[in-house]
Amino acid sequence: MNSVKIFAGSASLYLAEKIAHSYGKPLGKHNIQIFSDGEMCPNYSESIRGADVFIVQSTFPPADNLMEVLLMIDAAKRASAGSVTVVMPYFGYARQDRKDKPRVAIGAKLVANLISAAGATRIMTCDLHAGQIQGFFDIPVDHLYATAIFIPYIESLKIDNLVFASPDVGGVARARSYAAQFHADMVVCDKHRKRANEIASMQVIGDVEGANVIIVDDLIDTAGTISKAAQVLLDNGALSVRAIATHPVLSGKAYENINNSPLLELAVMDTIPLKEQSDKIKVLSVAELFAKAIRKIHDQESISTLFV
């Protein structure tokens, strides 16, 4: 069987090191030459001929992170790797998954095309913003779920009278899956936006009187929705409000919004590194989950046992 070699993109080195440690082997060696104008030229410092290569890189801004992983894929393909799997814990541009107004790009489809064209044979990711993005690829997609990590964590909190909340109508299925797992009720925070990242109004559909609420989302950007939802839930009688979100994009005034919000805690994954520290933010790791998936893929075993 081909050997496994795990390499890290610059933006996800912190996570790749943990994945490699969980897998039980050191990261592969490679260099990225940066020209004076910023152009990147990656090269592998060891033979990868015939190997199962796994490249760990999330594609959060800047766009150089995406360009870097594309070049690493191409270099691996040209170095005769047996297979090239992109381990992309956070799949950027996933919010551009449809044409919701005239004359806009479908960014998620474009990124999928680029990854395939670069020569990747497989992609592994976590909690896509929209599950149908898997259909944008013509290569196998292993879509992992953070529920495997969040559910044991929530169980450890031993919260009574638990209710799960979706911060918008689009996240209902996600919140419902948690509610079903805990045999709990679910509510929806229905929001109306004037424009992107600006909420005009919000109302709660469902009963949260006397409940301890956990808001479930796939990513947090400016934290405006989460902060507003937390306040509205408390105004409707909730005893406490926590939130869980897989990807901490956290741009703009996100940290200020979270610190000033009534949230007791925000639990996130380490798919994206935090820019700041906050007493309200708890970081859990997806490293072991991805390490297990890499092992099963290499051994040609089913990864369904990793799903909750």
Tens of pLDDT, residues 212-236:
999 999 999 999 989 999 999 999 9
Length of the chain (residues) = 308
Cβ–Cβ < 8 Å for 246, 271: yes
Single-letter code of the amino acid located at 307: F
- Give the Å distances, CA to CA, from 10 to 20, 60, 69, 136, 209: 15, 12, 9, 26, 47
pLDDT score for 194:
61
Domain boundary assignment for the chain = 4-145+287-306, 147-284
- Cα dihedral 215→199→92→265 (10° resolution): -30
pLDDT band at 289 (very low <50, low <70, confident <90, very high): very high
pLDDT score for 202:
84
Q: What is the spatial distance between Cα 68 and Cα 77, in angstroms, rounded to a whole number?
A: 14
147-284: CATH architecture: 3-Layer(aba) Sandwich (3.40)
**Edge to edge, what strands does the sheet with 240-248 contain?**
198-205, 185-195, 162-166, 212-220, 240-248, 266-269, 281-284
- Residue 191, pLDDT > 80, answer no
Q: DSSP for 122-137, please give it.
A: EEEEES-SSGGGGGG-
Q: DSSP for 147-200, please give it.
A: HHHHHHHHHHH--SSEEEEESSGGGHHHHHHHHHHHT-EEEEEEEEEEETTEEE
Phi, psi of 268 (to 5 degrees): -135, 170
pLDDT band at 199 (very low <50, low <70, confident <90, very high): low
Average pLDDT over residues 188-213: 80
Cβ–Cβ < 8 Å for 84, 73: yes
Domains 4-145+287-306 and 147-284 share a fold: yes
- Residue 210, pLDDT > 90, answer yes
Question: Quick one: tokens of 204?
Answer: 């709660």
Average pLDDT over residues 132-158: 96
Q: What is the spatial distance between Cα 32 and Cα 26, in angstroms, rounded to a whole number?
A: 18
pLDDT band at 201 (very low <50, low <70, confident <90, very high): confident
Intra-chain end-to-end CA distance of the chain, in Å: 29
As beta bridge partners, residue 42 has 32
pLDDT band at 197 (very low <50, low <70, confident <90, very high): low
User: In CATH, what number does 4-145+287-306 get?
Assistant: 3.40.50.2020
> Which of the following is catalytic: 109, 191, 228, 292?
191
Q: What is the pLDDT of residues 58-73, one digit of tens each?
A: 999 999 999 999 999 9
Q: What is the pLDDT of residues 267-278, one digit of tens each?
A: 999 999 999 999
- Would residue 5 show up in a list of annotated catalytic residues for this protein? no
Q: What predicted TM-score, i.e. pTM, was given to this entire model?
A: 0.93
Q: What is the pLDDT of residues 75-105, one digit of tens each?
A: 999 999 999 999 999 999 999 999 988 999 9
Closest CA to 93 of 75, 115, 71: 115
Q: What is the spatial distance between Cα 120 and Cα 55, in angstroms, rounded to a whole number?
A: 10
- Give the Å distances, CA to CA, from 3 to 6, 52, 81, 294: 10, 6, 10, 12
Average pLDDT over residues 246-273: 97
